[in-house]
Structures are given as structure tokens and as C-alpha cells.
Amino acid sequence: MPKLIPNIENRVRKLPKPATYSQALQPLFEAVSNALYAIEDRSALGATMAGDVRISITNLTDAGKFRVEIADNGIGLDADRYEAFQTIDTDFKRARGGKGVGRLFWLDAFERIHVESLFNEEGGIKRRCFAFTLRNDEQIVEEDLPNGYVGRQEVGTTIICEGLRGTSYQKAFPKQKATFLRYFSAHFIADFLVGNGASVEVNLDGEPTKYPEAVADLVIGRDLETGDFDISDYGTFSVKGFACDKEASTGLDGNHQLHLLANGRTVESRKVDGLIGLSTIAAGERDDLYFHGCVSSEYLDERVNEGRTAFNLPEDILKEISRKCVEQVRETALADQMVSYNATRRSNYDEFVSRHPIYGFDDPDVQLSRVPFSAQTPEEFATGLVKYQIRRDEERQSTMENVIELLAKGDSVPESFAERLQTAVREVQSSEQLALAQHVVRRKLVLDLMGKLLTRVRERADKQDDFHLEQTLHSFIVPMHVAGHDAAEKRSRAHDLWILDERLAFTRAFSSDKRFDALLKDSENAERSDLIVWDFASGLGVVDPLRDGERVDTSKPLEKVMIVEFKKPGRKHYGPEDQIHFQITKYIDELRGGEIEGFERQRIRIAQDCVFYCYVVADIEGDLKRQLSTWSKSANGQGRFMPLQGDVNGSIEVIQWQDLVNDAWARNEATLYAAKLQRGRPG
């Protein structure tokens, strides 16, 4: 009668070839799993022996001479198990997740395989020996013990595999002892953590490592169980958790681990640091431990691949299962430890929103649910929330556009229009309030810091080696050595010139501490002015051509320019060469009639009759007070003012540092009040 004839060589050739350490070790892991199952079977029949598996490996670094011997004291290859061994795709171990193909991986991985087994049968203990060979006929060749070989003396099975077959296994198999032990421990960690009653010894070229002692010694806490819980669409799960010494995660990706099991064996371990949130967990008197959780479920048992190397599930489902399992761990096994973590996380979030109000656009609990559970820093909160902020802005924009479109059509306005309009207005107002709060928080911080910085600089006023503090103050207002209009300038052009004048808040037409010969065409003057500005809202002559996307007419010369000089707060000594009037007029003489190379390399002429608005920010005391004694007082009576005469048009005003800060506070008073912020105390 015709029948299907199996082609074993072709079947083995089609097995997936290893690309990683874990995959290359899988045939060996299969043999060890069989040994553990055999011990469980013997114990189930009433045997009282202590389960024992001995794994001896020699020549780990030499693929041709590699040899592994796996010996157990399990039930042995009795008639039923021997028949199952001879049957491809047997369902003998189906209840445990066995696919009946594990020994095919042996044929794929090893050149030579020898099996010896002692088992109980009617009439006493029987021995069975055979070679297992990759070929289409007679893969199992029964044989006697070699001459001089004593063989096993007790019930159980010994499997000897020699020589790594094929370049894939030869390249992917680990060559270092430490690497081998890390992967071996990771693969069987669930067995060793949960405990299956068997002891395992791995002897690598004469160096033994005993399990579960090697892993059990790392377990500090064992009472982190969730009990059974349901995950929608996937059935019932349970997690048995352990608090382990950090060494238990050596060689694994991440610290906290979730081990997904199939039929009691680890299929894959997943890093869950971000899902746990806690950097470490506590158990007993220690708080520097990592969580290891073993996940069991019929759903996973039924969906493991035939080599038990992976689950036949999409990654998004495995991620969802992992997330739900860790959520259950947080709510049960780690509930007490999460109380403190959640309080700290909420406090960090509240502080983040107080400093960055634009992210406070929804209920705090809702916002926290939108970011990774491990998020605690401003960067992590912002990264998680920015996409929701963009969606919110887009929805608000669409709402406004729809209202505008409805009005523009000229059709009859529906009764619901008023409600739609009110909704759109409320959304705009809410957005404006958040944007205003963000703006004000930053300005308050800048002004508070400015006050502290002024105080510190004044405290060091007499220290000649503290010139860097004066530079710091200058750079705080506007970066030094920068031409704001220069597109080739790589340094930051961000500034806080609004402290001087609100109209300068967004200007890029400025030069800060740049040499005149770098600013003006044909200039050979190496001197520097602290700040020169030739564009702000009142129209000092030029509009930034990039601002409105329009090229402007630069043929007309500049008629207004601002010059600012910063003097160190607390400075009292000004020599004859430090005359304010003389310094400013030197700068004006250099600028009048010159050409600034402006935006897009366009040259901007400065008119001979240009009006120069010149400001000196200083503390009027000591020599400077005497120098300015003949100048007119400013409107508040604290500053000094002098018009420029003769060939120069303009004026010089000396402003006290504290007045500069006070005026900035006054200009922002309304917005500060609206945001319920108060001025910080002087430093």
C-alpha cells in the first residue's frame, strides 16, 4: 500500500539556522530539557531519588573537537519513550509543549550523537544504546557498548554529542565559558527560580557550576506573586516574581526581567525596566534588587514554535501581554513600593508643568497615563506628551478654520453655530493662556536670575581678576562675539534683549562684541562695541528681509542706530581714558558713513546724519558719578542724559543696572500677575 516516505536529510536542512548564541545553543538546551522532563516522569511514578543532571563540556573553543555529555537519572528510554523517539513529530510530550522535533535539531547541530539509557522493564533494568545519525535510512543504529566502556550504572539517560556541524553553528556557538554560562542561566532561570526539584551541574573543561545554587543564592525575596488574572482576548495568566541580586541580570538586556514560559520552560526573557518604573526594588533589608517574573499561561503554551525558541505571535501582542503582566505586578506584588514611586513621579510632573505650562493642557492623571511609566524627568515627560500637544493644536486649528469657512460661504448660519463658535473661542483662549504662562515663567526666571547675578557681580566689584563675571552678565543678555544677522554664524543667536527694550525681543539685526573690521566694509578698526542694533519695531531703518519672506530695498541708508555699552555693576574706578562721552563718539565716528554687511550679504549704508541712540548700563557711583555730574538727570532722577551736538545726531543715556531690571519687571507686571507669579527676592 503506498505511503509517504519521510526525507529526514531534507527536513533537517530546512530547519532554521542559528544567527545568535541563544539559537545556536537551542539543540543543547533541548537535550537538557528532555533530561529534566525524564526526571519529572520518574518522580511522578513514585521514585524518591533526588533529580540530578550532569552536563560536561570539553573543547568549547574548538568546533571540530567540541564534546558535550548530558547525563540524567530520569525514567530512561523505556519502550513507550523509545517508540516516541523514533517517531518524527510525535505528540508524546504534547501536554508539555513538546513538538517532537527537538532531536532533529541535534542532527542539524552535531556531527556525532550517541545515546545510552537504562530503564526499568518487567524482569529488571534494561540497557539501550544507539548512534543517532543524519541520513534518510536507519538514523537510529543500535549498538553494544564499546570494549572497555563500563557504561551507566543506574537508571537514566546519557547523550553524547560531538563536533559542531555546519558553519552556522560553528560561528554562532559561544566560545567563552562566561558567555555560555550567562546564556545557559538565562534560558533555564525560570526552572531554577521556580524550582523543579532537579539539581544541574555544568562542568566546562573541569570548572563546575551548580544550579539552582548559582541562581538561588541571588534570590533575596520570593513572595512577589500576582495570583491568576485575566487579560482580555488572551485568557488567564499568572506571574511568579522574585527580588534578585543585580548579578542575576548579568548578560541579559536590561535589569528587570519578565520571563515568558511555555509549559514551564523559558522561551524568551524581556527587559521591563521602563514598565516597572522603579530603578530597583526592595526585599528584606535590601533596596538594590532587580525584579524577575516568570509568566505562565495556556495561551503561551499553545503558541510556542516547534523548537521552543520563540512564540508564534506578533510582537505587538507580546508587548501587550508583557505590559498587562507588569501592570498586574505593580498593582499586587509591588503595590507598597509603588506608592512612594507614584508620589515622586506626580511631584516631578507637577514641577515640570509649573516650569513648562504648555504641557499642562489636560488633567494630570490623563497626562501621566500618556507617558511611559518610567518617565520622571522633564525630557521624558515632554517626549511623551509632544505628540498629544501637536494633535491638540491641529484639532484647534481645524475647528477655527471650519468656523471661518462657514462664515465665508455666505450660507445660512445653523442654530448650532453659536455653540461651535464658543467652543472654538474657548480652545483658543486656553491655548493662549498656556502659551502666556510658558512665556511668563521664562521671563520671571530670567529676571530673577538677572537680579541674583547683579548682586554677585557687585559683591566682587573690587576683584580685578573677576572680569569673567562682567562677561557673564553681558552674555546673559545677549551672546558675545555674535552677529545676529549673519546666516553663516554657527553660534546661538538667541538673546534676551527685551530686558533693554521690548521692541528688541525678536531682532536679529545686532552685533554683540564684534570687531568693527568684522562688521563694517573697509574698516581696519579692531575695537569692539558691546552691542550695536540697527533694527527694531519702531523702524530704525531696516526690516529683516527674512522676517516676512520679502526682499527689502537696502539702497536707503540707515537713519537710526542703537549703541549699548555694559559697565561692570559695582565698578567705581574710571580713569581719564574711560570717559563715556569720548568712548561713544569714537564708536559713532567709526559707524557714520560705513557699510554693514547685512542679511544675505546685502550691504546696508549708515547715513552721515544717522541718529544714534546710545545707552550705557552702569552703576552711577565713584568716578562715574563725578564724570556725569554736569549731565541732565533722566525722568526717574536716577539716570543721566546728554544730547549729542555738532556733527553728531543723537543722545547718550546712562541707565542704572537696577533701574534696567525694575523697568523690565514693570513692563511684564500685568502678565506676571495674570500667571499668579511674584517677583523673586533680590539676591
Nearest Cα to 186, choosing from 206, 215, 207, 210?
A: 215
* Residue 120 phi, psi dihedral angles, 5° rounding: -85, 135
No. of helices (H) and no. of strands (E), the chain: 21, 23
Burial of 116-144, coded b for 16+ CB within 10 Å and e otherwise, reads: bbbbeeeeeebebbbebbbeeeebeeeee
Q: What is the pLDDT of residue 307?
A: 57
Domain ranges of the chain: 8-209, 218-333, 344-413, 449-669
Distance CA(26)–CA(273), nearest Å, equals: 26
For 137, half-sphere exposure in the C-beta direction (CA atoms, 13 angstrom radius) is 0
**C-beta of residue 130 within 8 angstroms of C-beta of residue 140:** yes
Distance CA(331)–CA(319), nearest Å, equals: 18
DSSP state of 15: S
**C-beta of residue 445 within 8 angstroms of C-beta of residue 358:** no
Q: May I ask the CATH class of domain 8-209?
A: alpha beta
**C-beta of residue 535 within 8 angstroms of C-beta of residue 598:** no
CA distances 458 to 233, 443, 480, Å, are 69, 23, 21
Give the count of beta carbons closer than 10 Å to the beta carbon of residue 535.
28
Q: Which residue has the cell 532587580?
A: 290
Mean pLDDT in consecutive groups of 10 residues from the start of the chain, 683 residues? 66 87 90 89 86 95 94 92 78 41 86 94 89 87 78 91 92 92 82 80 94 85 92 95 87 86 84 92 92 94 78 94 96 93 92 82 88 90 87 77 72 66 66 67 79 80 59 82 67 76 81 88 88 63 42 69 91 90 92 77 82 93 93 91 90 93 82 61 47
Q: What is the pLDDT of residue 259?
A: 92
Q: Is the dihedral of CA 308, 310, 313, 318 positive or negative?
A: positive
